[in-house]
Structure 1
């Protein structure tokens, strides 16, 4: 029983950074923009969050700085594809490389310096609940912020006029343009929000989970988040379920090792990435294709006379 309880309590450590990045990517792709820069955004967010926390002593300032750093890089990408009409795939890869390079270069002086990060609030009684006590009540407040963001983004996208205009850009940008919606404006906003949420996901890794900055600590999570978008069918609620599933698989190896079981380390370490490939294959074969109709299409406005 203790094995299951500790395993459940560790799932949010891996799941919530993926969830935040997935939410950002959903917003970007809802406006028709494929964004491959998530890995770079998360790396910059993780590094910035750790450095600001080390300098200020405030993990909340660190998390906010990680969010802003990711948003700044997202703005660079958004201007490239929405305003300058650069190729989305190449621009995303370039921004990813910039993010990884910046995080390694700027953060090299703060590598392996531990700090006091976010800790779970003291909730006596609730934290001792069998099984679910650790999963629900031994998490930092940023975990609850992440869940609230799922609810907020789902409500905005599906229940507000702004959300309808937002998603209309990804379904039929010409029709949205004719209705008076600024297609580049919505795509730039989505790019900033995508970078910011991915940056916050990276900051979660360093500030709320590891309490230290390590180069390459994102370790491919940005790519997993891209697959998670497909699994979630571009819906925030399903993104939470998918993130918990990926997190459960990812945290299985450390728990088995803690039990002293002779598990094949490298094979188990491959499981999250094998699951990613499986999700993509199943999505390609599925008859339910819910991606935005104009996803990946560069919109060129025609002059109206």
Structure 2
């Protein structure tokens, strides 16, 4: 009598092979195809593109650089093809690649695009320094908003109210700066406005367990309505309460004289320098300190954190309020940081783009900074192209930042894991 023997490996002995992830190679291939068809094949030989490397006023001004347009675009196309092939090889071998690969892809694509835009324009050049400096400035509210989201969600509280916090910070900064005549006092009180919105967010979501996303949306609508009402009544009747107050630029000696990078990084106002400090300090505190470990524990497994003596409720009160204060500080960019008076809904959706930057940055301060710089660059690129008369429809330039946001989050971030306990009320 024969018996059948099951020769299949036991369940615990089977090796599960992860599927090949083709998302990034496909995106890179599409960018290569666009570069080839839209830029390389449409740029005739013999034309040149001029890049302006000086913003004016530097101790050492670099001369304009003229490059052969077709040669540069074809070189960028070849580089994109090589990077696409490398990404496909890494995907087949299930090898991890660093951040440098998407960074190189983006630089090559943008270089080809700018070279194509400036090809054959004798009287027009591409202002590189101005483009980068404006991109950094426009990234300021996005960075502060993304850092606010990182702090709140690492503690388990979803902060959809970043848009309202930015707007509240801009409003209070404008009023205080106008009344006192000091933009620095306006900058000082801006975090208080963001923190006040954060108190409302935490009060309803942590104390009364209301859905955090719903609370955030309601707070956004509340702040927009309240500031619009006060703008139409109080500020309209009292013109002196809403005047232009501008934070002065504070160039750092020697560093600000470095060609290209000096005016971009080291000839800014104090709000930009505070952004540098906020990114570094938050990254260190979040991943290299006991406080950061406790915050991340509360956001991942609050019950386990409670069992080891961490006060979950207090952490979910304090951390989101501090994060909301950061968003309020970023809102000061729209008024005292840019030298503008307050206007209705002047945050213009930056809070939602900051949320996208937080997700693209994978809830990491450094990643959020990189994503916010990408979005800020896309916004300033649209402004520069409009200023130099690139011949691109204005409607496309207006939607460019949002198109970049969608493609970046959908095409590059892929599947990411948010803190496990976010939007989950903790009930002892």
| Conservation of the 8 A alpha-carbon contact between 1:18 and 1:243 | yes
2:228 corresponding residue in structure 1: 104
2:423 corresponding residue in structure 1: 296
State the alpha-carbon separation in 2 of the partners of residues 126 and 168 from structure 1: 40
Gaps of 5+ in 1: none
Q: Measure how far apart 1:256 and its partner are.
A: 1.4
Instruction: Tell me the TM-score normalised to structure 1 length.
Output: 0.92
State the alpha-carbon separation in 1 of the partners of residues 255 and 279 from structure 2: 23
- RMSD in angstroms over aligned alpha carbons? 1.8
| Conservation of the 8 A alpha-carbon contact between 1:44 and 1:102 | no
| Conservation of the 8 A alpha-carbon contact between 2:158 and 2:213 | yes
Q: Measure how far apart 1:280 and its partner are.
A: 3.2
| Conservation of the 8 A alpha-carbon contact between 1:170 and 1:294 | yes
1:103-159 Cα deviation digits (max 9, x unpaired): 212233447954231021245665454321221122101101111011111111111
Between structures 1 and 2, the one with greater helix share: 1
Q: CA, structure 1 residues 125+264, in 2 after alignment: closer, same or farther (shift >3 Å)? A: farther
Q: Does 1:269 align with 2:398?
A: yes
1:218 corresponding residue in structure 2: 347
Structure with the larger RCO, 1 or 2 (CA within 8 Å, 6+ apart): 1
1:195 corresponding residue in structure 2: 324
Name which one, 1 or 2, has greater alpha-carbon Rg: 2
Q: 1:68 aligns with which of 189, 192, 197?
A: 192
| Conservation of the 8 A alpha-carbon contact between 1:8 and 1:248 | yes
Q: CA, structure 1 residues 114+12, in 2 after alignment: closer, same or farther (shift >3 Å)? A: farther
1:36-57 Cα deviation digits (max 9, x unpaired): 1111111111111111110111
| Conservation of the 8 A alpha-carbon contact between 1:49 and 1:65 | yes
State the alpha-carbon separation in 1 of the partners of residues 405 and 251 from structure 2: 36
Q: 1:168 aligns with which of 297, 300, 305?
A: 297
Instruction: Tell me the TM-score normalised to structure 2 length.
Output: 0.67
State the alpha-carbon separation in 1 of the partners of residues 208 and 218 from structure 2: 15
1:86 corresponding residue in structure 2: 210
Q: Measure how far apart 1:262 and its partner are.
A: 2.1
| Conservation of the 8 A alpha-carbon contact between 1:53 and 1:117 | no
